[in-house]
Amino acid sequence: MRYFTLLLGSFWLWAQTGQRFIDPVFSQIKLTKNVQYGSNLSFTQAPVDLLMDVYEPLNDTMQRRPVIVLIHAGSFLPPSIASAAFGRSPIGTKEDSGIVALCIAFARRGYVAISANHRVGWNAQATTQEALAQSIIQAVWRAMQDGRALVRFLRKDAATTNQFRIDPNRIVMGGSSSGAYVGLHVAYLNLPQELDNPKFKTQNGTPFVDTTAPGLDKGTGPEAGPNAFEGGSGNPGYPSHIQAVLNLGGALGDTSFIQNEDIAVISLHGVQDPSTPYTSGVVVTAVGNYPIIEVFGSYALTQNLIQKGNQTALLPDFASDNPFPGLYPLQGAGFEPFGWYSNSSDADKARARLYVDTVLWFSAPRLFKVLGLPTINQPYEPGGVQVVALTPAELRGLFSVYPSPATEPLLRVEHPTLFLHKLELYTPLGYKVAEVYPPQGASSYTWLLPPSLPTGLYLLNLHTSEGSFTVRWTYVHP
């Protein structure tokens, strides 16, 4: 884990008072990078760890805090391909500038804010619209499964180690463009019949998503979920529903997904976005601008949400939002106007930060209402924070795992400072073969593994008081 110092604003000589969740009442932010929330098979069928960065207000005493998960744009492409497609870098990672700026801003307001990665990849070499549509719909499906695993991770953490002190009844998910697609589909794509739609099938009637295929299914072994909608990305047994969506330029695959889920959506959308329509229309690929499938952008989405009763939590306070409660059209803006990149000018960055402010101005009071947050006035003194810090690599280097190679199914884990919360043993292909919970407060543990354990190379996941780490361990014949 690494703690970062974030210099936020100017120094002031006197304390001020603000309202938590609305105003930036914290000036010091703790950032925990690369927390593993799950794993699954990628587009190429390779095992991939799912990581997130967690932003928290430093020195916060609140024990149950709302959490907002924000997911990057990138058209479900690997970051290098997304950068080439958009002509911008970085894009398609949890370090995207606009997402990081929003996470810092929400953490300053008292949220636990998370920037997360998910599985990416689809067949950009497909030669027909149908094949492209099928591949991209599968990419959305994998990302949705990962999003649900992340929500389950948060509820599992709240019920067990409580490292992040989140309120399991106040979870928001969304993000920018394709990241917003993830939050919307976590909220609304949840019934098998919702995939029984000709637009999500090939010409011969085969569903785009094979819910029995590896990486698209419910998973195998201990990580298996109850169904493919939950997926096998981790943390089974905990609920994956969310309370609200922050939709920044995303869309929903079909309005037939929307029932009366009572999940409000707060949307800001660039009206001139060339890829995801503000109303409804055919979404196009970032690579080649090929038409894919009809989707429903923020205008059409919100219109349908109102008809089904999902925006009622915004009433009567925000009934005057134009055109609909919870929707703010960004006139004259296109794709991700709140982001900036390595080739952005100072003027571009300044303009993007104004859009960040607009997102906060519109979304913070509406999320306050939807989540039913308490009114808390507290003093704050803007300023700088300290830097602490061991990097994850440095912390990992302090683990002792021995004997390795071992000649019997037994290993011992030790660390000089970190408490061990959970140990998991995986094969190199990502199948979990064993797990154990050491006693509370233990920084060392001797693990007697099943006597039937096959010999070979294993990956040992170490969940600790300061994040998750992976080390190698080898078991050989005597």
Q: Report CA-CA distances (Å) from 259 to 127, 190, 217, 263.
A: 35, 10, 24, 10
Q: Say which residues have a Cβ less than 8 Å from residue 31's Cβ, sequence separation at least 6.
A: 2, 3, 4, 6, 53, 54, 55, 56
- CA-based angle 176:181:183, to the nearest 5? 85
- CA-based angle 299:314:159, to the nearest 5? 105
- 222 in the same domain as 128: yes
- CA-based angle 161:165:167, to the nearest 5? 115
| pLDDT for the residue 6 | 45
- Domain end among 380, 409, 430: 380
CA distance 136 to 121: 8
- Confirm whether 460 is domain-assigned: yes
CATH of the domain at 465: 2.60.40.1930
Per-residue pLDDT tens digits for 400-451: 888 989 999 999 998 877 889 999 998 876 778 999 999 988 889 999 999 9
pLDDT at residue 237 is higher than 90:
yes
- 431 in the same domain as 283: no
Number of domains in the chain: 2
- 325 in the same domain as 183: yes
State pTM to two decimals.
0.79
CA distance 179 to 183: 7
Per-residue pLDDT tens digits for 243-284: 999 999 999 999 999 999 999 999 999 999 988 999 999 988
Residue 308: phi, psi to the nearest 5? Answer: -95, 0
Is residue 296 within 8 Å of 276, Cβ to Cβ? Answer: no
- 438 in the same domain as 343: no
- Confirm whether 264 is domain-assigned: yes
- 163 in the same domain as 260: yes
Buried b (16+ CB within 10 A) or exposed e, 98-135: bbbbbbbbbbbbbbbbbbbbbbbbbebebeeeeebbbb
Mean pLDDT of 95-111: 93
| pLDDT for the residue 418 | 80
- 273 in the same domain as 147: yes
- 460 in the same domain as 356: no
CATH of the domain at 142: 3.40.50.1820
pLDDT at residue 289 is higher than 90:
no
CA distance 118 to 355: 25
- 302 in the same domain as 264: yes
In this prediction, residue 380 has a pLDDT band, given cuts at 50, 70 and 90, of confident
| pLDDT for the residue 93 | 92
Mean pLDDT of 159-169: 93
- Domain end among 380, 402, 425: 380
- 259 in the same domain as 172: yes
- Confirm whether 6 is domain-assigned: no
CA distance 154 to 165: 9
- 102 in the same domain as 71: yes
Residue 387 CB coordination number (10 Å):
10
- 266 in the same domain as 355: yes
Mean pLDDT of 142-149: 98
Strands 410-414 and 444-448: antiparallel
Residue 253 CB coordination number (10 Å):
24
- 450 in the same domain as 318: no
Higher pLDDT, 392 or 330: 330
Mean pLDDT (the chain, rounded): 89
Per-residue pLDDT tens digits for 468-477: 777 888 899 7
Q: Which two tokens stand for residue 331?
A: 């006139």
Residue 465, domain extent: 392-475
Strands 291-296 and 244-248: unpaired
